Structure 1
């Protein structure tokens, strides 16, 4: 017959005065960890002692109890109680609840100390999130919870955000089906159904990284940093009923706008209002667009304009601001810490100076009646207005005065007659003949003679021109600047065509690319210096030094470079041909090698919008295999086109890879898979690696520990 195990007898518990307790040398905790003694004392003062001390009687030399006790387990609580007694918030002989072990117990004191510390299980993070939510539900505010649990309000808000995630995701997290980082990523969206849908979509995906989860949850949203959002203003968007979501765990640039349709409507309304305001200035037309097309001003003539001069008061204000700025900079230049108000004042001075120095332009009202303006959104969300462009159909007709003819043709004779008007042609003697009637003025030279003479003059001019390289350079530069900066009917006797390139099919947002921004900045700098009228250009060019002339020459020449492989129409239009485009591209390769063209350094990357959306799935896989190796292509070959394109963009972001049309033979020849950090080393990128670890230790360390 089986014997029943003996029942356990627990150690007795009783209150022992604080001044009869002492720390035991058997306590195994030696390293400071967790909540500090001061913080633990404050917590005990607020809520009392939640856990008794484990003590053993101290014996004298004869083995008898002395009435004093040592503490092998609970030393931190004892030191906190001692600190409260020193602060006179606890009596020195206050009764302390203790569990008293028998003096001759077989269990060592070190065993008790180790067991109490090692066998203690911290709360699961999910239980902590829910506990904080319960405190809020019962009336505690975020700041109070943070203060009571020795953390910051921001951390409490993060925990509350995690507690608000879908209960289904909570259950998966509790069963270790997802990591804490993944759960944090789901908090970027408040819609539980959407959270669950995304998790279901990731069920069979190799990529379940937090970054990919955030991307899926925000793919139908607009970044707060988008220029459209800056143009409208977040307050206006929210006031119209729009919502903004934030990621409390990652730097999100301000969050995402969740209603793109509302944002587009607000953008359209504000742009139209800006267009109406500009039209009221007196222009014939105004065109509004979020993104101004690359070739918007192609074939349009820019009308003359004059900069409004500064008034005496404005000049005095500029001088005063510059003096104040110099004084502040000199005063604080060597200071290790500059006060925030000084920085603010310097910024305010720069803003006011910029507004004063950036002078407005005035236009001829008669010209404004046939010209127009473009209104768009600049990269920083401000309104971009480009005024003063005349369309070809709005140009005034070049009416000739009554009785006038083309130059050199007034009263001219038959052009086929090399001698001009002969005697008897019009019933009068030939010019210069003995029979010329007195009182009759000299007749104009015949057209043919004018042509012959100017041909001779042209040869002489060419000969002299060729002997003076400096003048030849200036004349060609003059022609280039006319073609690049002074659109319209302006002429030059130097027949060097300066045709600024306007792409036949420019990609979207090409104006926002890094090279376009650099070209625009350089063009703006030169436009600021060039004279308003082309009539003053010749004299101005000779005020420039040789280096400046060369830089202007290079800039104008660069605007005439066309390396675009244009789409050749099915039917010949007389403008381009396949052969001509091929020769153009071949020559562009020569130029590219000469300047060591580096498109990756210039900022080009293979993106979904700019590349992958326009190619087939097999092409995407081939490109990934070429850039990173075949194993990376195999990882994404099961995805749908949209997801495959997004993953390919991430894989090739730092691969320094270029599609074939963008490569320069002899310069960008690269072997497949030789990009830095590619498949050759067998390591996955961070965003493809599975997160097999448990909750992040750093995050767990922030969670509060209950009073011991």
Structure 2
């Protein structure tokens, strides 16, 4: 078959070009040539051979569909004679794939291969055409073609992968991409969307949701991370603490659906049934709570996903276990032997088997004696346990809570019994007076008022009778003054008395055993700041408090001897802990004295406080709770004005997602968390955003701050609101500088 072209004017000459020779559709004869007679051509333009993966995929295709395109070959000639072999000018990859199948005994070595024997064209040019004149299909076409095979023929990922030599995981990804809404794939073909954006939409296989998210997000906000977050906003990520606690396998075994992310490594996807997840978490926590209650002998136990802050319970603490002298001696002997063995065999690792066995025996013997501290079994009988989930997906067990009404009645002291007896005697005396007809027990002569009477001689009285209250008060007032003077002259004992008073307030239950009128209070910060208990500072305070609580005597009357017995450093540490719990640097809706808040800054400066150790500017802790203007100002200060400008026009969720990693990396802190005169650690270095010059006209601020806020923030709203927001940005930036 031939075709012809219309004569044309020769370029640059003005003369008529010579008619072209007729076009030949195919040069050469089609023959079936044995595979064993085909060789690689030295004239092949491809010097970098095909990869093993490519050869494998072509072999898979030939296995199912045969050779769809004949090879182009030329006869091999040596010394002017044909050798009977043929050199492959086009189709070397197919030849290698056929040889691979023959090597695997799936094809005979002499199997016939359809070829075109071309002796007219230059083999090198044919080879270049083979590699240059092809245009690969658009990825979107490939995605939809894979989807068509899956739907029309029912092929699974393994079957499709076998037919095309593609790994099943890659096939699954392409099938998921083929399930993206056709309208979005068309936008990908038109280069309106990128492959990363299409991949983000494919995280959720619901085409309706994909189109909805596409329409909701502005053009500037269609970054892949923003699309992925919008597609999964009603689901729980697999790294959520609840999923970590229950286990993804257990959730799936209970029938819970999981949305898999096929495009991100080491990402197990998202849990879709949150109600089921919470139920599984609650059940597992309840099982742990019941086990703790049964094993340890508590009166009750309760399970919550989050620790119930307003539980209304009082608390008891672990105490140092009282051991017999025999137990103490046995433990000391074991510990001494363990230390000697450690010193002797420190240079040899591992130690001889007999020595290792002795180490294990010593450890088992020490374990048998139990911990050095614990709860009193009598207290466990009226107290309980809370089991909750911590921030790391682990069960958190808090022991020693006493519900209202479960506290045992306090045993009366001997002094209280004596006072009650004296009160009863007084009552009996008054009763006797009434029986004898004395109308006024306090009237010594028994005569009616207004009747003249003579003063009787004062009776001798009982020397054992108590003194009048007024006399006792006056005497003890003098003694108190003397004590104050003496205590002021003994600073060491004054510190002991102060520590004792604070310890009675902090650790004492059911009484106060100090004559010092020390007022102590501690604001519940967890009721104001979410996540305080799980923060680095909250965890450290709780551990420190528990450590001291374990050492306290069980009776408040014994606190004094305990504190006197401490060395100076320990007593100072205990004082610091008790004092620290009273610190209240909160700024809220309450009106507080300026001098009090100034003292907060004084302490922070003296302590050289660096809040970057305790707090990060994450979305949960800060960015989600402030305005877009605050976010932009923070990025401008911590990173650069250019970085802040790049956030312009983004919706709040996208702006937060982009700003969070930058602010965390920069160690940025809001002004309220910075220490004014520290050694430069708390105030991070970084370029401050340029502050526009002050303007009397608020509308002028709109024009000056417009590059910071972005057009989407200004255009849709009235100028008054825009001016207010612009002024807010200026104020923030000025404060930062």
TM (norm. structure 1) is 0.69
Match of 1:168 among 183, 192, 206: 183
The partner residue of 1:25 within 34, 42, 45 is 42
Q: Deviations over 1:396-445 (max 9, x none)?
A: 7999968837999x98xxxxxxxxxxxx9969xxxxx99746xx452234
Q: Does 1:69 align with 2:86?
A: yes
Of the three residues 573, 593, 604, the one matched with 1:592 is 604
1:433-484 deviation digits (Å, cap 9, x = unpaired): 99746xx452234445544554555556556655665544444333333333
Residue 120 of structure 1, aligned match among 134, 137, 143 = 134
**What SS does the aligned partner of 2:262 have?**
coil
Q: What does residue 521 of structure 2 align with?
A: 499
Question: Are the aligned partners of 1:275 and 1:286 in contact in 2 as well (CA < 8 Å)?
Answer: yes
C-alpha distance after superposition, 1:65-97 (max 9, x if no partner):
454332333344444555666666655544332
Residue in structure 2 matched with residue 10 of structure 1 by the alignment: 26
Match of 2:533 among 484, 495, 511: 511
Relative to structure 2, which stretch is displaced further, 619-628 or 385-394?
385-394
Q: 1:10: how far off?
A: 0.9
Aligned to 2:143: 129
Distance 1:627 1:365, change over 3 A: closer
* Structure 2 counterpart SS, 1:489: coil
Assess if the C-alpha contact under 8 Å between 1:304 and 1:533 holds in 2. no
Over 3 Å counting, the alpha-carbon distance change for 1:262 and 1:476 in structure 2 is same
> Aligned-pair distance for 1:111?
2.0
Equivalent position to 1:527, from 533, 546, 549: 549
Quote the residue 2:402 is aligned against. Answer: 389
Which position in structure 1 is the counterpart of 2:663? Answer: 652
| Shift in CA distance, 508/174, structure 1 to aligned 2, threshold 3 Å | same
Q: Deviations over 1:198-228 (max 9, x none)?
A: 11223x3313221111111122223344344
1:552 counterpart = 2:567: no
Matched residues in 2 for 1:253 and 1:516: separation? 31
Q: Which moved more, 1:523-532 or 1:539-548?
A: 539-548
Aligned partner of 1:705 in structure 2 is: none
Specify the SS of the correspondent of 1:178.
Answer: coil
Separation in structure 2 between the aligned mates of residue 278 and residue 89 of structure 1, nearest angstrom? 64
Tell me how far apart the structure 1 counterparts of residues 385 and 104 of structure 2 sit (CA, whole Å).
Answer: 76
- Return closer, same or farther for 1:469/1:13 CA change in 2, 3 Å cut-off: farther
Higher relative contact order (Cα pairs below 8 Å, separated by 6+ residues): 1
Deviations 1:342-361 (A, max 9, x none): xxxx9xx99xx99x869984
Q: Distance in 1 between matches of 2:322 and 2:489?
A: 43
Deviation at 1:611, TM superposition (A): 3.3
How far apart, CA to CA, are the structure 2 residues paired with 1:232 and 1:334?
39
Is 1:215 the counterpart of 2:232? The answer is no
The 8 Å contact of residues 242 and 262 in structure 1, kept in 2 or not, is answered as: yes
**What SS class does the counterpart of residue 600 from structure 1 fall into?**
helix
Q: The residue matched to 2:176 in structure 1 has which SS?
A: helix
User: Per-residue deviation at 1:241?
Assistant: 6.8
- The answer on whether the counterparts of 2:635 and 2:662 sit within 8 Å (CA) in structure 1 is yes
Matched, 1:56 2:74: yes
Distance of aligned partners of 1:602 and 1:81 in 2 relative to their CA distance in 1, 3 Å threshold: same
Q: How many residues are aligned here?
A: 610
Matches of 2:268 and 2:78, distance apart in 1: 69
- Residue 187 (structure 1) aligns with: 202
Aligned counterpart for 2:211 among listed residues 188, 192, 196? 196
Q: 2:673 aligns with which of 662, 668, 677?
A: 662
Q: Is the 8 A contact 2:304 2:387 kept in 1?
A: yes
Q: What is the aligned partner in structure 2 of residue 602 from structure 1?
A: 614
Contact 1:41 1:83 (8 Å CA) reproduced:
no
* 1:304-352 residue CA offsets vs partner (Å, 9 max, x unmatched): 7779999xxxx99xx9xxx9xx99xx9xx989xxxxxxxxxx9xx99xx
Whether the aligned pair in 1 keeps the contact of 2:246 and 2:280 (CA below 8 Å) is yes
Q: What's the offset of the Cα at 1:117? A: 2.3
Report the Cα distance in structure 2 between the residues aligned to 1:441 and 1:393, rounded to whole angstroms: 45
Deviates more, 1:232-241 or 1:50-59: 232-241
CA distance in 2: counterparts of 1:624 and 1:661, whole angstroms:
16
Instruction: Kindly provide the CA deviation profile for residues 485-542 of structure 1, in whole angstroms up to 9, marking residues without a partner as x.
Output: 3354222234444433324951233222232122223323333444444344444446
CA contact 1:606–1:658 (8 Å) conserved in 2: no
Match of 1:155 among 170, 193, 197: 170
- Rounded to whole Å, the distance in 2 between the matches of 1:9 and 1:247 is 49
**Are the counterparts in 1 of residues 385 and 397 from structure 2 also a CA contact under 8 Å?**
no
Change (3 A) 1:387 1:86: closer
Q: C-alpha distance in 2, partners of 1:190/1:90?
A: 41
Is contact 1:41-1:84 (8 Å) kept? no
Measured after TM superposition, the shift of residue 257 of structure 1 is: 2.9
* 1:562 partnered with 2:597: no
Alpha-carbon distance in 2 for matches of 1:37, 1:257: 37
Q: Is the 8 A contact 1:504 1:566 kept in 2?
A: no
In the alignment, the residues of structure 2 paired with residue 466 and residue 602 of structure 1 have an alpha-carbon distance, to the nearest angstrom, of 39
Deviation at 1:389, TM superposition (A): 3.2
Q: Which runs of 5+ in 1 are unaligned?
A: 336-345, 412-423, 428-432, 569-576, 676-681, 683-708
- Residue in 1 aligned with 2:704? none
> Aligned partners of 1:245, 1:273: CA distance in 2, in Å?
28
User: By how many angstroms is 1:557 displaced?
Assistant: 2.6
Mapping 1:299-314, distance limit 5 Å: 301-303=314-316
Q: Once the 2 structures are TM-superposed, how far is the Cα of residue 193 of structure 1 from its aligned partner?
A: 0.7
Question: How far is the alpha carbon of 1:158 from its aligned partner?
Answer: 2.4
Matched, 1:244 2:279: no
Question: 5+ unaligned residues in a row in structure 2: which ranges?
Answer: 1-5, 8-18, 324-329, 351-359, 427-441, 446-456, 690-706, 708-737
Does the 8 Å CA contact 1:274/1:375 hold for their aligned counterparts?
Answer: yes
Shift of residue 597, structure 1, vs aligned partner = 1.6
Contact 2:236 2:274 (8 Å CA) reproduced: yes
Q: 1:121 to 1:545 in 2, by over 3 A?
A: farther
Larger radius of gyration between Structure 1 and Structure 2: 2
Cα distance in 1, alignment partners of residues 523 and 57 from structure 2: 73
Deviation of the 1:99 alpha carbon: 1.9
CA gap 1:154/1:483 in 2 versus in 1, 3 angstroms: farther
Closer, same or farther: CA 405–529 of 1 in aligned 2, 3 Å = closer
Of 555-564 and 30-39, more deviation after overlay is shown by: 30-39
Residues 585 and 453 of structure 1, relative CA distance in 2, 3 Å threshold:
same
Spell out the pairing of 1:133-532 with structure 2 (5 A cutoff).
133-137=147-151, 138-146=153-161, 149-202=164-217, 204-229=218-243, 243-250=257-264, 254-260=268-274, 290-292=305-307, 301-303=314-316, 361=375, 364=378, 368=382, 376-379=388-391, 380=393, 382=395, 384-389=397-402, 391=404, 404=419, 436=460, 440=462, 442-455=464-477, 457-458=479-480, 461=483, 465=487, 470-503=492-525, 506-532=528-554
1:302–1:389: 8 Å Cα contact kept in structure 2? Answer: yes
Q: Which has the higher helix share?
A: 2
Give the whole-Å Cα distance in 1 for the aligned partners of 2:95 and 2:544.
73
Residues 1:621 and 1:482: Cα distance change in structure 2 (over 3 Å): same
Q: Deviations over 1:40-59 (max 9, x none)?
A: 79648834444433222233
- In structure 2, relative to structure 1, the CA distance for the partners of 1:665 and 1:5 (3 Å cut) is same
The match for 1:95 is 112
* Paired position in structure 1 for 2:353: none
* 2-structure distance, mates of 1:457, 1:525: 37
Deviation, 1:194, is 0.8
